[in-house]
Structure 1
Amino acid sequence: MNKFNLLLVFVLSFLIFSCGSNNGKKKSDFSIQIPNNKSEFSINEELQASVVNSKNRSIDSVSFYFGDQYLKSSKDGTNLQLDLKDVLLGNQTLKAIVYSEDKTDTLTKNIKVLNSEPPVVYTYQIINSYPHDMTSYTQGLEFHDGILYESAGQYGKSKLRKLELESGEVLQEIELDDQYFAEGLTILDNKIYQLTWQEGEGLIYDLESFEKTGSFGYNQSKEGWGLCNNGQKIFKSDGTEKIWILDPETLAEKSFIQPTHHKSISTKLNELEWVNGKIYANTYQKDGVAIINPENGAIEGIINFSGLRDKVTQHDKLDVLNGIAYNSETDKLYVTGKNWDKIFEVKIVKK
């Protein structure tokens, strides 16, 4: 067979395959229509949408989804009314699967869901202060059974530490290999979980022996920033608009929330702490700590810690606020920063 015949066979095969398939590249006869082409909604609104049938094809049924959540299916039902009060906030996808004449069309529409109320603004009062190692580039801070645990970062200087709050004494310490830049930490089921920044790997330690027992990968996210847990689930920030919810057994990133207030979706949320049913998260290089509803991602409050950095020893390596620790046994909240020589016990006050 000569080259021309081979080419002809290839072209004919391609045309036959293309005509017989509905692989999604062909423009659909259906589309999702939202009144006024609206794409941004408040959580207290209702989303109305319909499937437009431009060629009047016979429709067997339509199934609607919001993100991965199945909503409804109906025969010849092309209209949707969705109360947004119980959905996840942030960037979401409305999907409709149309079954028509032995073909399936998958339609999508991108929308943004914002919180309906602005965050409550809080300030702080300093109740007490305690010594903190000025050389510690704090990335994660957490209490467990009254003992303070800290993850300190930077290449060649990263550590995992067990501390006594009152004296600042280091009770135990592990130095990480130079290849790691340590980030956030959390403690669950007698295990310490510590993130690394861009190495795509989290480290696991035995709480009692302080020995490394394993590691885990990052699946979908590229970086590790902050960690916290609610006693069952582990939450992980990665610098994007997502806070991932990890499977506590496999540490796989199963789902996520998007911290969102009444105007936009937040990014660069760093150190995380679980406080009385909410996630506290500081924004990298900012003095604010967001109070986040873990159910839908709503930012319900902002704590303004402006001025706190001025109350520590000023030096050339002094860096930003980072480090939130809540002692559930005493109901006390503590904050510090990178290369700060103090840890502050603070009381949060509505402004």
Structure 2
Amino acid sequence: MFDEKRATRRGLAFGAAGLFALSACGTGDAAAEERVTVPEDAEVEQLRVEVLDTFDHDPGSFTQGLEVAEHPEFGTVFYESAGLYGESDARIVDPGTGEVLASQDLPADLFAEGLTLTDTDLWQITWQEGAALRRDPVTLDVVETVAYEGEGWGICSLDQFTAPKVAEAGTQLIMSDGSSTLTFRDPVTFAPNGTVEVTLDGEPVSQINELECVGGQVWANLWLTDQIVRIDPATGEVGAVVDAAGLLSAEDSPGADVLNGIAAGPDEGTFYVTGKHWPKLFLVRFVP
């Protein structure tokens, strides 16, 4: 599926005919072009996905961010950010059925990207509009809108983090912008606190998209690919690359876009993963 982000980033190099050809090729060719390769002598784990369970997911959701948390009314829920201009929202989803329990639309001129939870807030970022929405996690109401520079892709919250590249110790929001740079931000003010460059065997890794902070590490979808990487936020070094290809069956694949959406699962080492316009969501483990 040919999304607006892909059109903007890749379409500048093509005329109308080129854009049509790119959209017709689907996500498979683009994903093959963007995949990272682990050198044979690199000390990087190469992992695959073991599926533990499968759930229904709203195929209408252009998934940008995914979190699991407890809600005072609904119990255990997914918080999900869905993108596209005129279709973006923040939603609360029943994990077992995929039913949308509550949602709040964004204005039509905002393209929603990732979201993350802190102890008190739900932060949702936007793609090119430089607007971070601080929401009430119970009602999803927007409490405050904070401006930032650059693009917003993914975001996660890392507890009690200390590193030389960060100005302040403590809980940090970590945000991606599609480049090889991750930006640390204050969880209350959203002010930037520092950056780190993501590398694999010394080479920069870009297209970093949706993020999940767990166990002191950052797990990240690489946009346009079926890969997920594990990043040490203190150094930016990639310590593992996950090949998540083949999750969707042939029956479920038509109309589905790229892998995107990762959240820590109920047990240590488990994760929920899905994708843009995917009809399924999976509980998985990453294994050698």
TM surpasses 0.5: yes
Give the Cα–Cα distance (whole angstroms) in 1 for the partners of residues 247 and 221 of structure 2: 14
Give the Cα–Cα distance (whole angstroms) in 1 for the partners of residues 244 and 278 of structure 2: 14
Q: What's the CA shift string for 1:201-223, capped at 9, x where partnerless? A: 1111111222111111114xx10
Q: What's the CA shift string for 1:62-87, capped at 9, x where partnerless? A: xxxxxxxxxxxxxxxxxxxxxxxxxx
- Report the alpha carbon displacement of residue 263 of structure 1 after superposing the two structures with TM: 4.2
Unaligned runs of 5+ in 2: 1-40, 71-75, 160-170
Q: Which amino acid aligns with 1:319?
A: D
Aligned partner (choices 268, 283, 286) of residue 345 of structure 1: 283
Q: Which amino acid aligns with 1:170?
A: V
Give me the TM-score of the superposition, normalised by structure 1.
0.64
Q: Which amino acid aligns with 2:49?
A: Y
Structure with the bigger percentage of strand: 1
Matches within 5 A, 1:1-351: 117-145=42-70, 146-219=76-149, 222-231=150-159, 232-310=171-249, 313-315=252-254, 317-327=255-265, 332-350=270-288
Secondary structure of the corresponding residue to residue 233 of structure 1: strand
Which residue is 2:18 aligned to?
none
Give the Cα–Cα distance (whole angstroms) in 2 for the partners of residues 159 and 249 of structure 1: 22
Give me the TM-score of the superposition, normalised by structure 2.
0.77
- Report the alpha carbon displacement of residue 314 of structure 1 after superposing the two structures with TM: 2.8
Q: Which amino acid aligns with 1:134?
A: P
Secondary structure of the corresponding residue to residue 52 of structure 2: strand
Give the Cα–Cα distance (whole angstroms) in 1 for the partners of residues 251 and 243 of structure 2: 17
Unaligned runs of 5+ in 1: 1-115
Give the Cα–Cα distance (whole angstroms) in 2 for the partners of residues 320 and 179 of structure 1: 23
- Report the alpha carbon displacement of residue 330 of structure 1 after superposing the two structures with TM: 6.5
Q: What's the CA shift string for 1:6-51, capped at 9, x where partnerless? A: xxxxxxxxxxxxxxxxxxxxxxxxxxxxxxxxxxxxxxxxxxxxxx
* CA separation of 1:313 and 1:296: change in aligned 2, threshold 3 A: same
Give the Cα–Cα distance (whole angstroms) in 2 for the partners of residues 144 and 312 of structure 1: 31
Count of residues in correspondence between the two structures = 232
Q: Which amino acid aligns with 1:264?
A: E
Give the Cα–Cα distance (whole angstroms) in 2 for the partners of residues 205 and 252 of structure 1: 17
The runs of at least 4 aligned residues of structure 1 exceeding 4 Å deviation read 328-331
- Report the alpha carbon displacement of residue 198 of structure 1 after superposing the two structures with TM: 0.4
- Report the alpha carbon displacement of residue 300 of structure 1 after superposing the two structures with TM: 0.3
Secondary structure of the corresponding residue to residue 204 of structure 2: coil
